[in-house]
């Protein structure tokens, strides 16, 4: 008579296979497979019914309302960050000659359709120039299917002084002699209401390459700033 060294149960089949251990191994394998499948699924929110659901690879429609889910897009980190975990020195650019870059518009997170129609003109800054503008050329920052506006607006007050911060997609053209380059990015504007009620607006353009680099560097080099505190003063 033989006994299993793992569970202590009596072995069958001539002392070679333990039914209890086999069942345990099968259960563990099933649990492992389920865990792998669960990790492959992504928690997403349907832009139509706003329900949360587990999105498996290949899922294209919401399991609750049947609405079309936005096409899966690589994140900024996956696209821009290299194998060493560092942001690329140059942002992807569509050359005036050769293979174009960024021709296909991404899906709108609200309606699931491309944010720009296929027949929407992509205008270059210089009309007579040779260019292959990407999907975002001459784009106004709104989805052309559902009119969803892509912007971030933050309103708050600093000691009763109203401030509004707005960030929206933008681009800037930089000509040099008989050629030039258009940089995609964001425009950051700050509007502040003074004591007399006059609004003062300041705007700043950041290219995507600059913005990505700042998002990478600030947590590393300026983490101390998140430890700072505001203060008040009184002179009455």
123-161 per-position pLDDT tens digit: 888 888 899 999 999 999 999 999 999 999 999 888 788
Contacts of residue 135, defined as CB under 8 A and 6 or more positions apart, other chains included, come to 102, 103, 104, 105, 106, 114, 115, 116, 122
> What local confidence, expressed as pLDDT, does residue 30 receive?
47
Q: What is the pLDDT of residues 175-192, one digit of tens each?
A: 888 888 999 999 999 999
Q: What local confidence, expressed as pLDDT, does residue 153 receive?
A: 95
- Tokens describing residue 127: 């009309």
Helix (H) / strand (E) element for 202: namely strand 199-207
Evaluate if residue 199 carries a pLDDT over 60. yes
* DSSP character string of 43-110: EEE-TTT--EEEE-TT--B-TTT-PBPPPP---HHHHHB-TTS-B-SS-----SSSS--S-SPPBPTT
Residue 150 vs residues 123, 146, 166, 170: alpha-carbon distances, Å: 20, 12, 11, 11
Average pLDDT on 182-205 reads 90
With contact defined as beta carbons under 8 Å apart, do 161 and 132 qualify?
no
- What pLDDT does 18 receive? 58
Work out the angle at residue 184's Cα, subtended by the Cα atoms of residues 183 and 190, and round it to the nearest 5 degrees: 110
Task: Please say whether the beta carbons of 123 and 129 come within 8 A.
Answer: no
pLDDT at 35 over 80: no
Query: What are the two backbone dihedrals, phi and then psi, of residue 190, each rounded to the nearest 5 degrees?
Result: -120, 120
Beta bridge partners of 75: none
pLDDT of res. 34: 45
Sorted by where each begins, the domain ranges of the chain are 64-222
Dihedral of alpha carbons 43, 49, 50, 51, sign:
negative
Burial of 115 (0-12, 13-18, 19+ CB in 10 A): buried
The confidence band for 116, taking pLDDT boundaries of 50, 70 and 90, is very high
């Amino acid at each position: 008579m033989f006994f299993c060294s793992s569970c202590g149960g009596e072995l069958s089949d001539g002392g070679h296979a333990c039914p209890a251990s086999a069942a345990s191994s099968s259960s563990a394998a099933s649990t492992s497979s389920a865990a792998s499948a669960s990790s492959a699924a992504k928690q997403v929110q349907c832009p139509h019914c706003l329900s949360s659901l587990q999105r498996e690879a290949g899922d294209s429609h919401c399991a609750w309302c049947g609405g079309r889910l936005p096409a899966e897009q690589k994140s900024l980190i996956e696209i821009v960050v290299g194998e060493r975990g560092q942001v690329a020195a140059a942002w992807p650019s569509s050359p005036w000659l050769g293979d174009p870059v960024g021709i296909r518009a991404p899906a709108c997170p609200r309606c699931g359709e491309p944010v720009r129609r296929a027949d929407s003109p992509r205008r270059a800054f210089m009309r007579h120039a040779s260019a292959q503008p990407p999907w975002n050329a001459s784009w106004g920052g709104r989805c052309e299917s559902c009119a969803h506006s892509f912007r971030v607006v933050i309103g708050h007050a600093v000691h009763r002084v109203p401030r509004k911060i707005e960030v929206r997609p933008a681009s800037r053209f930089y000509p040099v002699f008989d050629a030039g380059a258009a940089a995609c990015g964001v425009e950051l504007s700050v509007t502040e209401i003074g004591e007399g009620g006059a609004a003062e607006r300041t705007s700043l353009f950041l290219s995507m390459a600059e913005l990505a680099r700042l998002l990478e560097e600030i947590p590393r080099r300026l983490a101390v700033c998140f430890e700072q505190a505001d203060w008040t003063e009184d002179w009455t």
